[in-house]
Chain A
Amino acid sequence: DVKVTQSSRYLVKRTGEKVFLECVQDMDHENMFWYRQDPGLGLRLIYFSYDVKMKEKGDIPEGYSVSREKKERFSLILESASTNQTSMYLCASYRTSGRAGEQFFGPGTRLTVL
């Protein structure tokens, strides 16, 4: 089974802190994604990566950056956390399967910024 793990389930940080969210997948997938999930808004794509050291902006990249130094690990960085970044953060990796693949999600990190 594909496993996607995230470093923390719950995280509380203060405004202005630098925050690192880590994601690791164990299936050698090339594509990885970071989303944030907010009630009534569904999932919104922050950043994604097609390969090591490659990154692409998603729909809401402002205030975030990412790092992909190894294929299995994709990190989301909040350079200076703000209260409007309080949210659930979900990481996913992607497996190609026929004409359309499948994204595999981690359990999520619920981040609260005070």
Chain B
Amino acid sequence: GDSVTQMEGPVTLSEEAFLTINCTYTATGYPSLFWYVQYPGEGLQLLLKATKADDKGSNKGFEATYRKETTSFHLEKGSVQVSDSAVYFCALETSGSRLTFGEGTQLTVNP
């Protein structure tokens, strides 16, 4: 079946550091890929998405590129802020609007 694997957390960075959160997937067909973010005390919200190979999703300074050859969708940001502290979830959708989520990665950014 479909599955998503994220790098183990938690991740702790200083403000303005470079961020990478790894995500790899296993799926039949050609899934769409997503990053969702969950701020403290809130539900998840969509951060970015990509629907086909080599697409790059971007939002709020975050980027991720759909790499079919390595089945990956790594999240990156060049300079993190304290306000980026949250849990990040990688997810895939193959059909019927169902999502399969990774385990989540807790990010803490210190001033």
User: Total interface residues on A, using CB and 8 Å?
Assistant: 27
Q: How far is the CB of A21 from chain B (nearest CB, A)?
A: 14
Q: How far is the CB of A56 from chain B (nearest CB, A)?
A: 9
Q: How far is the CB of A22 from chain B (nearest CB, A)?
A: 15
Q: Per DSSP, are chain A's interface residues mostly helix, strand or loop, or mixed?
A: strand
Q: In the complex, which residue of chain A has the Cβ closest to the Cβ of B93?
A: A100
Digitize B42-62: 1 where CB-to-A-CB distance is under 8 Å, 0 elsewhere.
Answer: 111110010110000000000
Digitize A86-110: 1 where CB-to-B-CB distance is under 8 Å, 0 elsewhere.
Answer: 0000101010101111111111100
Name the B residues within 8 Å of A100 (CB-CB).
32, 34, 49, 51, 93
Are A42 and B93 closer than 8 Å at their CB atoms? Answer: no
B101 interface contact, C-beta 8 A: yes
| Number of residue pairs A-B, CB distance < 8 angstroms | 56
B73 interface contact, C-beta 8 A: no
Are B89 and A107 closer than 8 Å at their CB atoms? Answer: no
User: Total interface residues on B, using CB and 8 Å?
Assistant: 23
Residue pairs across A and B with Cβ atoms less than 8 A apart, 8 shown, are: A33-B98, A40-B103, A41-B103, A42-B89, A43-B89, A92-B44, A100-B49, A105-B45
Which of A44, A48, A105 neighbours the largest number of chain B CB atoms within 10 Å of its CB? A105
Q: In the complex, which residue of chain B has the Cβ closest to the Cβ of A102?
A: B46
B86 interface contact, C-beta 8 A: no
Give A104 to B97 CA distance when docked, in angstroms: 12
Digitize A75-94: 1 where CB-to-B-CB distance is under 8 Å, 0 elsewhere.
Answer: 00000000000000010101
Are A94 and B97 closer than 8 Å at their CB atoms? Answer: yes
Q: How far is the CB of B93 from chain A (nearest CB, A)?
A: 6
B11 interface contact, C-beta 8 A: no
Name the B residues within 8 Å of A42 (CB-CB).
4, 89, 101-104
Extra inter-chain contacts (11) besides given A92-B44, A96-B97, A107-B43, CB under 8 Å: A42-B102, A43-B44, A43-B89, A43-B99, A43-B104, A58-B98, A99-B32, A99-B51, A101-B97, A103-B99, A107-B42
B111 interface contact, C-beta 8 A: no
